[in-house]
Each structure stands twice: as C-alpha cells, then as structure tokens.
Copies of this chain bind each other. A is one copy, B any other.
C-alpha cells in the first residue's frame, strides 16, 4: 500500500506526497488519532523527513487544510461562469462542489469536520474558506432577489441565515452523497436546488411561511 517507495525525489514532489498521505490519514482517522508514523509510512518516507519538511503535526495539518481549501474553492470557482444568471451560477457551483467533495472525501472530512474540532487556529483556517463560499451564496441570493424584481431587498440578517442554511444543507448532502453510493453529484445538486431555490422563489414573491402564535 501507500506510495511506491521511490528514492531521492525533489523536495516539492515529496512534500505533495506527504500532504496526500496526511490528508488521507487525517480524514480517515481524525486529527488526534492520526499518527505521524502512519502518515510517514503511507507517504513512503521516514518520519524525520516529514518533520524536516513540514515542521510539526500542527503545521502539517494546517498545510493540509490550506491546500485542500484552496483546491475546493478553486474547483467551485472554475465551475461557475459569473456572467450567467444567479440560478445557473448556483447550480454550476453546487455541481462542482459535490463533484469535488465526492472525488476527495478525505479532503472534505479534513475541511468540514477535523479542521473545525481541533483548536481555534485550524477552525479559523477552514472558516476563511467557508466564508468565501457563504459570501458567494449570499451575493447570489441578493442578485436573484433583484432579478426577481423583489423590492425592497431582503433584510441582511435574513439573507445571512438563508445562506447559512443553504451552505449547511449542501455540506450535509455532501456527506450523504459520499455515504449513499449511488447518488451522483447531479442528483445531489438537483435535490438541493429544488429544496432551496423554489423556497427562495416563494419568499421573493412575498409568500413566506408564517409561524403560528406561541
């Protein structure tokens, strides 16, 4: 198992191998249960080399978070054409999101679960990425409301809660799609669009659901 034991590779290559192994191990076992020994072995190198290049378990984990956060945001960005209408942008973004998280389940576990449960430093690193995505969704909601000629704009806190719920639902569906094997990114994205967009549509035409009196 693990990478083929090739000797004398340039530093940059070895570093990527180590990050690959670390992401897999952190994702599979969790931050604390992952041992540097296992990561080194999976990377096909000795432990001291991991320390020489990545400094410490914390630094290694941070490097994983950063690399995978950039990869995920990059994948979503690459999937979206900002010239298209808001609903199409959301659809494309979701598709890219589910495709990427489906292809890199360990990376998604690192970002979604591990990073958020082992110290503020890591959480902040992952939160920065999530904030980018929430901001993207928030802006889509505002634009969509205008496209639907809703006037005046939705209150800010309302929009924040909606974006939070939408992203939360997406994150949850990503886990679901990773588990239930026959769910494709398309299906996951379609489910979420139906769930969310139509609801937002009703909101925008002024027919929100009203809670009963307490």
Using a CB–CB distance below 8 Å, which chain A residues touch chain B?
30-33, 87-88, 91, 109, 113-114, 116-118, 157-158, 161-162, 164-173, 175-176, 183, 186-203, 207-209, 211-212, 214
Q: CA–CA, A97 to B11, complex, Å?
A: 51
Residue among B165, B190, B214 making CB contact with A192, cutoff 8 Å: B165
Taking A30-B32, A116-B113, A173-B165 as contacts, is the C-beta distance between A207 and B211 under 8 angstroms? no
Is A168's CB under 8 angstroms from B164's CB? no
CB atoms of A169 and B165 under 8 A apart: yes
A197:B168 contact, CB within 8 angstroms: no
Identify which of B33, B157, B165, B195 contacts A172 (C-beta below 8 A): B165
Question: A188 — which chain B residues lie within 8 A by C-beta?
Answer: 161
Q: Are A196 and B199 in contact (CB under 8 A)?
A: yes
Contact: A195 with B191, CB < 8 Å?
Answer: no
Which one of B116, B161, B172 lies within 8 Å of A191 (CB-CB)? B161
Q: A61: shortest Cβ distance to chain B, in Å? A: 13
Given contacts A167-B172, A198-B208, A199-B202, 16 further A-B contacts (CB under 8 A): A113-B113, A117-B117, A157-B187, A162-B191, A165-B169, A165-B192, A165-B195, A168-B171, A168-B173, A169-B169, A195-B203, A197-B199, A197-B209, A198-B207, A199-B199, A201-B209
In the assembled complex, the Cα of A195 lies from the Cα of B183 at a distance in Å of 24
Give the residue of B187, B189, B200 whose beta carbon is less than 8 angstroms from that of A199: B200
Residue of B nearest to A34 (CB): B32
Residues of B within 8 A of A87 (CB): 209
Across-interface contacts of A208 in B (CB, < 8 A):
194, 198
Given A33-B32, A118-B30, A172-B164: A195 in contact with B196 (beta carbons within 8 A): yes
A88 nearest in chain B by CB position:
B212
The closest CB in chain B to the CB of A188 belongs to B161
Q: Which residues of B contact A209 (CB under 8 A)?
A: 87, 193-194, 197-198, 201
